[in-house]
Amino acid sequence: MTISRDIVIVGGGPVGATLALALHENGIASTLLEARQRGTSHQDQRALALSFGTRLILERLGIWPQLSSKATAINTIHISQRGSFGRTLLKAEDHGQEALGYVLSYGALSQALDDALSGCHSVEVLHGAEATEILPDDDAATVTFNHEGIITTYRAPLLVLADGGRSLGDIPGLNRETREYGHDALVAKVQAELPHNHIAYERFTPSGPAALLPNGAHDFSLVWTGRREEVAAVMQLDDAAFLLALHQHFGDRVGRFLKVGKRLAFPLRLSRLNPVAARHLVVIGNAAQTMHPVAGQGFNVGLRDAWELADLIAESPVGQLGTETMLKTYADNRRTDTKNGLLFTDFLVNLFSNDVLGVSPLRALGLGALDLIKPAKHHLVRKMSFGPRG
């Protein structure tokens, strides 16, 4: 059975849901297919680092009031290198922002978006709809999916893939460029001896960066990256040994580490689709680009994908929906933001994650110099907060 729709979004996570809500705000109907059942992700405690610009998007969608009490503000970012005195401090008050960013659980954001979608008459949401085939074509794109045991095909002039890449497979016309870092990221929630005071810490070490993000009244969200074998070794430690190893790795900035929650580890890679669009099909969010978690850029770039695509759809004549001209405009508009995010995170990893003789003092000098050059700090904060239009 083939059914015609105008806009179909595959993937109902934060990026796909943001696109559907933004289209609704513009009076544009869409259909959202999500493989998970409603509510499955509402208890997901994984931490998301939201930029200040992402907060503004959520405000415009009307859901920030529901989230503000659950989000922890980042007012200061402390950037340092292990074994040196060079450091940079970024403070929200110095850049005219209420905060530099926020830490929020994936589950809290998912629930707020799902609640908002439930009140949108112009958005058809199908939970438990698992895409099995996606095909671009000259006149439209099709997605075939299984929903409650029934196989259905939707055909639309614009199909948006926003499912993190789970349904990509071998879609004609799309090529993925991937580079493995050979590093893993370990994530967990930890409690430290000293209060966080809304300070986020980014500490560079020869084996990879480690970040502590304030999360809740007393806790931090930890992102500890390193060579695969090193991360595997610390994953095997019991809690007491792990907390000691973390203190030795991170230093005394927040005192001793007292508690650690569930630990998860995943491989790190740089990945990008080229191009991000085929005939009547466009890919956004992590399905289009995957970045190293250093500097917390990936999720925010993906949300800007959704926001700017919704604006372009609203500005496009009905007959232009999903055409080559429209999709080229989208790709051109997003190229700078995506490229800058990929290059910036990759640059930081390559610059700081090594122990080449003589480089460490230069890095320390650079961090110290950045702290003194106010225009450079302001430029960095604006780009991290708002992307290339900052």
**What per-residue confidence (pLDDT) applies to 42?**
93
Contact 15, 285 (CB under 8 A): yes
**What per-residue confidence (pLDDT) applies to 360?**
47
Mean pLDDT along residues 203-220: 88
Q: Which residue has the higher pLDDT, 386 or 157?
A: 157
In a domain, 257, yes or no: no
Would you place residue 84 in the very low, low, confident or very high pLDDT band (cuts 50, 70, 90)?
low
- Give me the DSSP letters along 217-274: TTEEEEEEEEEHHHHHHHHTS-HHHHHHHHHHHH-STT--EEEE---EEEEEEEEEES
Contact 40, 130 (CB under 8 A): no
Quote the domain boundaries for residue 40.
Answer: 2-45+106-177+270-352
Domain count, the chain: 1
In a domain, 25, yes or no: yes
In a domain, 383, yes or no: no
In a domain, 139, yes or no: yes
**What per-residue confidence (pLDDT) applies to 209?**
84
Contact 3, 25 (CB under 8 A): no
In a domain, 364, yes or no: no
Highest mean pLDDT pick, 70-74, 217-221, 274-278? 70-74
In a domain, 91, yes or no: no
Q: Taking Cα atoms as reference points, which of 4, 219, 257 lies closest to residue 103?
A: 219
**What per-residue confidence (pLDDT) applies to 273?**
86
In a domain, 358, yes or no: no
Q: pLDDT of 360-386, one tens digit each?
A: 454 444 445 455 456 766 666 676 777
In a domain, 214, yes or no: no
**Average pLDDT score, the chain:** 87
Q: pLDDT of 224-267, one tens digit each?
A: 989 999 999 999 999 999 999 999 998 888 999 999 999 999 99
The two tokens of residue 174 are: 């799309």
Mean pLDDT along residues 10-33: 97
Q: Which DSSP symbol is given to 11?
A: -
State whether residue 284 is helix, strand or coil: coil
Which CATH number belongs to the domain containing residue 348 in this structure? Answer: 3.50.50.60
User: Beta 158-161 vs 264-273: how paired, if at all?
Assistant: unpaired
Q: Which residue has the higher pLDDT, 218 or 57?
A: 57
